[in-house]
């Protein structure tokens, strides 16, 4: 059956507006479309393809598990889920893991757990959730309400209540509203969708202290910043601040859908049998692939190289900017990089993305004013150089149009 981009408009719900091409093959950091045109991938499936496309070890693991056991549901446990659970708890502050299928579901579990924990330990008045403006936590109704972008959460009727937002990196604003009625504060240690914005050390330390003072749980949403993206396995490890709950997804499966919520034994005890669940959570195929991703990423060879590759990006982007003066700031950490556009190009990030695609390079935006890169952590240096050369041609096109 012949399908094209036009088929999308024919049969798909119109909530997405995908690019004009239809990719059919990927290898490492290169992708090919139906016409055989080749692209350098700096988007990484929105910070997911942490080992590039079709990494041979991941392909082998998926094939091997695919011939053994696909699915059981949570009526039974399975070996890949148990092994991944052990490795995640061994590698982090956490004692316990809950498996989900996406970032939103991992956050949904985290928020429900925080509410239940507060109810059990402090009573029903302790239910306030504080989140940050421009934060992003997923698209279920609870998580999108907690996210700090009303454009995503408005227009669906009454929202889950007791959710408040304050400005990111503004400790005084948090101090003003946090109280003993706060059950949780949720934040991305490095905001992704909101514009690639790092949290200051003072801010995260302050948030941690305020949460402890008010017996509020600190939830780190590391769905985008986790699994090596910043050069640490999780961003909290570079901040010396330990959350009570951490969520991870995206890169965890390297392209196979999986999410997880990590926490301590004491907090986990509130998700008793039957309180929460998912048919696919802990699926053997997903867990086998994620275990292999973790084995590969959580090594000095990969993690240390993230910082070196970040420098290659920064040097290349600075050089481009000297020529065209289109970025006011190049920011982010590790291989989550944001190029904030100057005054002249405000609102035009998408033009850069479209011009990049026309020049055979895939990138992302983070809001209307930031071009974002979230490539594979093992992208070859030659592909970084070639992708940046294509980006330079794209910028030249935008500047001259």
Binding footprint of ligand PLP on the chain (CB under 6 A):
46, 102-104, 107, 136-138, 188, 192-193, 221, 223-224, 249
Min dist CB 319 to ligand PLP, Å, is 29
Min dist CB 226 to ligand PLP, Å, is 9
First-to-last C-alpha distance (Å) of the chain: 39
Integer Cα distance of 1 and 220 in angstroms: 45
Closest-by-Cβ residue to ligand PLP is: 103
Integer Cα distance of 252 and 223 in angstroms: 9
48 versus 395: smaller Cβ distance to ligand PLP: 48
Instruction: Tell me 102's DSSP state.
Output: S
Beta bridge partners of 372: 338, 364
Secondary structure class of 337 (helix, strand, coil): strand
267 versus 364: smaller Cβ distance to ligand PLP: 364
Min dist CB 268 to ligand PLP, Å, is 20
187 versus 326: smaller Cβ distance to ligand PLP: 187
Secondary structure class of 360 (helix, strand, coil): coil
Residue 84 corresponds to which tokens in the numbers above? 């991944």
Integer Cα distance of 330 and 124 in angstroms: 45
Query: Exposed, middle or buried by CB within 10 Å (0-12, 13-18, 19+), for 89?
Result: middle
Min dist CB 315 to ligand PLP, Å, is 27
Count how many Cα atoms sit within 13 Å of the Cα of residue 394 in the half-sphere of its side chain.
23
Min dist CB 107 to ligand PLP, Å, is 6
251 versus 306: smaller Cβ distance to ligand PLP: 251
246 versus 326: smaller Cβ distance to ligand PLP: 246
182 versus 224: smaller Cβ distance to ligand PLP: 224
Min dist CB 353 to ligand PLP, Å, is 16
Reference 59, options 51, 68, 48, 71; nearest CA is: 51
């Amino acid at each position: 059956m012949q399908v094209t981009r036009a088929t999308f408009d024919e049969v798909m719900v119109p909530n997405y507006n995908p690019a004009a091409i239809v990719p059919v093959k990927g290898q490492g950091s290169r992708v090919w479309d139906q016409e055989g045109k080749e692209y350098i991938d700096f988007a990484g499936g929105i910070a997911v393809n942490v080992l590039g496309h079709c990494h041979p070890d991941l392909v082998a693991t998926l094939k091997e598990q695919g011939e053994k056991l696909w699915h059981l549901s949570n009526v039974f446990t399975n070996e890949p889920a148990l092994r991944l659970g052990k490795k995640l708890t061994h590698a982090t502050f956490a004692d316990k893991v809950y498996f989900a299928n996406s970032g939103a579901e991992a956050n949904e579990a985290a928020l429900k757990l925080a509410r239940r924990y507060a109810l059990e330990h402090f009573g029903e008045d302790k239910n306030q959730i504080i989140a940050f403006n421009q934060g992003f936590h997923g698209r279920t109704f609870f998580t999108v309400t907690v996210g700090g972008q009303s454009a995503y959460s408005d227009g669906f009727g009454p929202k889950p209540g007791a959710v408040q937002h304050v400005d990111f990196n503004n400790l005084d604003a948090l101090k003003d509203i946090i109280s003993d009625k706060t059950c949780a504060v949720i934040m991305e240690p490095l905001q992704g969708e909101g514009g690639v914005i790092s949290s200051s050390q003072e801010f995260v330390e302050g948030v941690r202290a305020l949460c402890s003072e008010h017996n509020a749980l600190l939830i780190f949403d590391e769905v985008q910043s986790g699994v090596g993206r910043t050069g640490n396995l999780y961003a909290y490890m570079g901040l010396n601040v330990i959350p009570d709950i951490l969520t991870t997804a995206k890169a965890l499966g390297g392209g196979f859908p999986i999410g997880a919520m990590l926490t301590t034994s004491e907090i986990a005890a509130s998700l008793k049998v039957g309180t929460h669940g998912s048919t696919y959570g802990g699926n053997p195929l997903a867990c086998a692939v994620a275990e292999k991703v973790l084995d590969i990423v959580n090594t000095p060879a990969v993690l240390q190289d993230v910082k070196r590759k970040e420098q290659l990006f920064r040097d290349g982007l600075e050089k481009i900017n000297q020529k065209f003066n289109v970025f006011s700031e190049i920011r982010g950490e590790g291989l989550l990089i944001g190029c904030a556009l100057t005054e002249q190009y405000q609102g035009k990030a998408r033009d850069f993305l479209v011009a990049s695609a026309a020049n055979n390079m895939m990138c992302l935006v983070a809001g209307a004013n930031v071009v974002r890169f979230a490539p594979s952590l093992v992208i070859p240096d030659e592909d970084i150089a070639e992708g940046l050369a294509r980006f330079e041609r794209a910028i030249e096109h935008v500047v001259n149009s």
